[in-house]
Amino acid sequence: MDLHTPHPYWLLKNGLLCEYPALRNTLKVDYLVMGGGITGALTAWYLAQAGIQVAVVDRRHIGMGSTCASTALLQYEIDVPMHQLAKSVGEKDAARSYHLCIHAIDKLELICKKMPLPAGFERKPSVYYASRKADLVGLDQEYAIRKKHGIRVERWDKSDMISAFPAFKAPGALYSPHDGAQVDAYALTHALLQDALKHGAQVFDKTEIVDIRHEKTQVVLHTQHGQSIRAKQLVIAGGYESQEYLTQKVTRLHSTYALVSEPFDGAEIWYRDALIWETARPYLYLRTTPDRRVLVGGRDEPFFSPGKRDRLLAKKTQLLAQDFNKRFPTLAPLLVDFNWAGTFAETADGLPYIGTVRERPRTFFALGFGGNGILFSQIAGEIIRDAAMGKKNPDARIFSFARAKIV
Ligand SMILES: Cc1cc2nc3c(=O)[nH]c(=O)nc-3n(C[C@H](O)[C@H](O)[C@H](O)COP(=O)(O)OP(=O)(O)OC[C@H]3O[C@@H](n4cnc5c(N)ncnc54)[C@H](O)[C@@H]3O)c2cc1C
What strands lie across the sheet with 122-123, from one edge to the other? 73-75, 180-182, 122-123
How far apart, in whole angstroms, are the C-alpha atoms of residue 286 and residue 129?
12
265-296: per-residue pLDDT in tens?
988 999 999 999 999 999 999 999 999 999 99
Residue 405 has what pLDDT?
Answer: 60
pLDDT band at residue 187, thresholds of 50, 70 and 90? very high
Amino acid symbol at 371: G
Residue nearest to atom 25 of ligand 1 (CA): 37
Question: Pick from 253, 254, 256: which is nearest to 339 by CA?
Answer: 256
Concatenating the DSSP letter of every residue in 194-255 gives: HHHHHTT-EEE-S--EEEEEE-SS-EEEEETTS-EEEEEEEEE--GGGGGGG-SS---EEEE
**Three-state SS at 339:** strand
Task: Give me ligand 1 centre to Cα 105, in Å.
Answer: 18
CATH 3.30.9.10 fits 124-178+251-346, yes or no: yes
How far apart, in whole angstroms, are the C-alpha atoms of residue 379 and residue 245?
21
Residue 294 has what pLDDT?
Answer: 98
Outline which parts of the chain fall under CATH 3.50.50.60. 9-69+186-250+350-403
How far apart, in whole angstroms, are the C-alpha atoms of residue 305 and residue 309?
6
Residue nearest to atom 21 of ligand 1 (CA): 67
Residues 6+ apart with CB under 8 A from 309: 255, 301, 303, 341, 343
Please give the average per-residue pLDDT across 203-228, as a whole number.
97
Residue 390 has what pLDDT?
Answer: 97
**Three-state SS at 323:** helix
Task: Give me ligand 1 centre to Cα 237, in Å.
Answer: 9
How far apart, in whole angstroms, are the C-alpha atoms of residue 124 and residue 127?
10
Please give the average per-residue pLDDT across 114-119, as a whole number.
94
Task: Name the helix (H) or strand (E) containing 342.
Answer: strand 336-346
85-109: per-residue pLDDT in tens?
999 999 999 999 999 999 999 999 9
Please, are residues 342 and 8 in contact by the beta-carbon 8 Å criterion?
yes
**Three-state SS at 260:** strand
Pocket of ligand 1 (CB under 6 A): 3, 34-40, 57-60, 64-67, 69-73, 185, 208-209, 237-239, 241, 256, 258, 297, 342, 344, 368, 371-375, 377
Query: Mutate which of 179, 275, 374, 399 to test ligand 1's pocket (most atoms within 8 Å of Cβ)?
Result: 374
Residue 191, CA distances (Å) to 62, 184, 278, 295, 365 in order: 11, 11, 32, 23, 23
Residue 406 has what pLDDT?
Answer: 52
Task: Name the helix (H) or strand (E) containing 259.
Answer: strand 252-261
pLDDT band at residue 403, thresholds of 50, 70 and 90? confident
Identify the bridge partners of residue 257 per DSSP, sorted by sequence position: 298, 341
Residues 6+ apart with CB under 8 A from 247: 357, 359
For domain 9-69+186-250+350-403, the CATH superfamily is FAD/NAD(P)-binding domain (3.50.50.60)
Please give the average per-residue pLDDT across 110-138, as a whole number.
97
Task: Give me ligand 1 centre to Cα 374, in Å.
Answer: 9
How far apart, in whole angstroms, are the C-alpha atoms of residue 296 and residue 339?
9
| The model's pTM | 0.98
Residue nearest to atom 49 of ligand 1 (CA): 65
Answer positive or negative: Cα dihedral of 30, 104, 245, 387: positive
**Three-state SS at 77:** coil
237-259: per-residue pLDDT in tens?
999 999 999 998 888 999 999 99
Residue nearest to atom 16 of ligand 1 (CA): 373
Please, are residues 124 and 273 in contact by the beta-carbon 8 Å criterion?
yes
Task: Give me ligand 1 centre to Cα 66, in Å.
Answer: 3
Q: What's the mean pLDDT when you consider all of the chain?
A: 96
How far apart, in whole angstroms, are the C-alpha atoms of residue 25 and residue 84?
50
pLDDT band at residue 371, thresholds of 50, 70 and 90? confident
Residues 6+ apart with CB under 8 A from 397: none
How far apart, in whole angstroms, are the C-alpha atoms of residue 124 and residue 121?
10
Give the percent of the chain with pLDDT over 70: 99
Outline which parts of the chain fall under CATH 3.30.9.10. 124-178+251-346
Please give the average per-residue pLDDT across 188-206, as a whole number.
98
Task: Give me ligand 1 centre to Cα 402, in Å.
Answer: 23
pLDDT band at residue 404, thresholds of 50, 70 and 90? low
Characterize the bridge pairing of strands 202-204 and 54-57: parallel
